[in-house]
């Protein structure tokens, strides 16, 4: 079964500063949440997809070096310590976590047990709630600065909020998550297994996968720069490089963003914010 995009992780050093960035871009940003192992996040919601802005808030609680039981914690800590800020995780929706883990293991991408956790959250009205997640990790050691897994919510009624999905910039949905690799086709088996599809489209620029919720792209650095007008991150294996959103009207979104003092670039019909202004990420908007 094809899996749609569930969420993308943006690792940052200053969670509140990054939250302010997304607010200036016209997004509605949730309050700070805390994981029991020491990372903190803030959430930007869309229909059945979210952006997770993540930081290491309590480093003393993180798993010790060599403990890979919570890969997204250890990979994001290492990324922030040794690479910088940027997009670090691409997560697909989970339907059957045990079955997904079995599929990952059969293809050679297993090795981490199923993971369940719960945390406290806040509703849009400020009241307390509790959310939970079942996670199946797909280990891909050739990509040391990216984390991939499926995620199934155990209490979705406590997580999703229509009010938090209304954004001043007009964003209606996720459009695409773009990965970068020197040779994207080298990773087709992993991506087929992760996304649950067998009909990847291949070109001289890379791979493209249609999912029920957004496209997954795997581009070489030249194609990435041509698509987004931004320098591609260079790394071993796959790196998460860009996140693109659907909007109704380019001019209206540009007006909202520019009123905050940020001047996005227009490139190939997209609005793009990148580099230090975007805490190491590439954030793009394109008309539906």
Question: Domain holding 186: CATH number?
Answer: 3.10.180.10
* 282-287 and 270-274 beta bridge pairing: antiparallel
The answer to whether 136 and 114 are in contact (CB under 8 A) is yes
128 and 204 share one domain: no
pLDDT at 65 over 70: no
Domain of residue 45: give its range.
Answer: 5-165
128 and 250 share one domain: no
Any idea what DSSP says for residue 191? H
Q: What pLDDT, on the 0 to 100 scale, is given for residue 272?
A: 98
158 and 190 share one domain: no
φ/ψ of 73, rounded to 5, equals: -75, -50
pLDDT-above-90 percentage for the chain: 85
Q: What is the mean pLDDT of the chain?
A: 94
How many domains is the chain built from? 2
269 and 144 share one domain: no
153 and 196 share one domain: no
pLDDT-above-70 percentage for the chain: 99
161 and 184 share one domain: no
Tokens encoding 107: 């293809």
- Given 165, 182, 217, the domain boundary residue is 165
Q: What pLDDT, on the 0 to 100 scale, is given for residue 198?
A: 85
- Given 165, 188, 204, the domain boundary residue is 165
| pLDDT mean over 7-29 | 98
55 and 117 share one domain: yes
Between CA 46 and CA 282 the distance in angstroms is 18
26 and 152 share one domain: yes
111 and 242 share one domain: no
107 and 197 share one domain: no
Any idea what DSSP says for residue 240? E
- Given 147, 165, 183, the domain boundary residue is 165
pLDDT at 76 over 80: yes
| pLDDT mean over 42-66 | 92
129 and 72 share one domain: yes
The answer to whether 210 and 45 are in contact (CB under 8 A) is no
Query: At 241, is the pLDDT very low, low, confident or very high (cuts 50, 70, 90)?
Result: very high
Tokens encoding 95: 């339907």
**Range with lowest mean pLDDT among 123-132, 204-213, 220-229, 254-263:** 123-132
Query: At 113, is the pLDDT very low, low, confident or very high (cuts 50, 70, 90)?
Result: very high
- Residue 11, Cβ density class (10 Å: 0-12 exposed, 13-18 middle, ≥19 buried): buried
160 and 205 share one domain: no
pLDDT at 66 over 80: no
Residue where the block lists tokens 């209490």: 155
| pLDDT mean over 241-245 | 98
Q: What pLDDT, on the 0 to 100 scale, is given for residue 270?
A: 98
């Amino acid at each position: 079964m094809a899996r749609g995009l569930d969420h993308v992780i943006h690792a940052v050093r200053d969670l509140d500063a990054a939250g302010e960035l997304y607010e200036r871009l016209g997004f509605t940003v949730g309050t700070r949440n805390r994981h029991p192992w020491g990372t903190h996040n803030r959430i930007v919601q869309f229909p059945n997809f979210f952006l997770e802005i993540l930081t290491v808030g309590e480093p003393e609680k993180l798993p010790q070096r060599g403990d890979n039981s919570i890969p997204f914690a250890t990979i994001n800590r290492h990324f922030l310590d040794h690479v910088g800020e940027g997009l670090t995780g691409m997560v697909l929706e989970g339907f059957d976590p045990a079955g997904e883990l079995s599929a990952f293991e059969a293809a050679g991408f297993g090795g981490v047990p199923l993971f369940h956790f719960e945390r406290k959250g806040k509703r849009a009205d400020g009241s307390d709630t509790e959310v939970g997640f079942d996670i199946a990790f797909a280990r891909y050691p050739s990509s040391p600065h990216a984390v991939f897994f499926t995620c199934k919510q155990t209490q979705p009624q406590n997580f999703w909020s229509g009010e938090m999905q209304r954004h001043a910039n007009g964003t209606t949905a996720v459009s695409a998550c773009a990965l970068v690799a020197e040779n994207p086709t080298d990773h087709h088996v992993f991506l087929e297994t992760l996304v649950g599809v067998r009909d990847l489209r291949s070109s001289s620029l890379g791979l493209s996968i249609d999912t029920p919720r957004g496209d997954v792209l795997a581009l070489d650095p030249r194609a990435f720069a041509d698509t987004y007008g931004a320098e591609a991150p260079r790394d071993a294996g796959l790196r998460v490089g860009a996140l693109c959103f659907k909007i109704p009207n380019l001019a209206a979104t540009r007006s909202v963003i520019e009123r905050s003092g940020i001047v996005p670039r227009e490139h190939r019909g997209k609005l793009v914010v990148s580099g230090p202004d975007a805490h190491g990420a590439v954030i793009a908007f394109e008309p539906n």
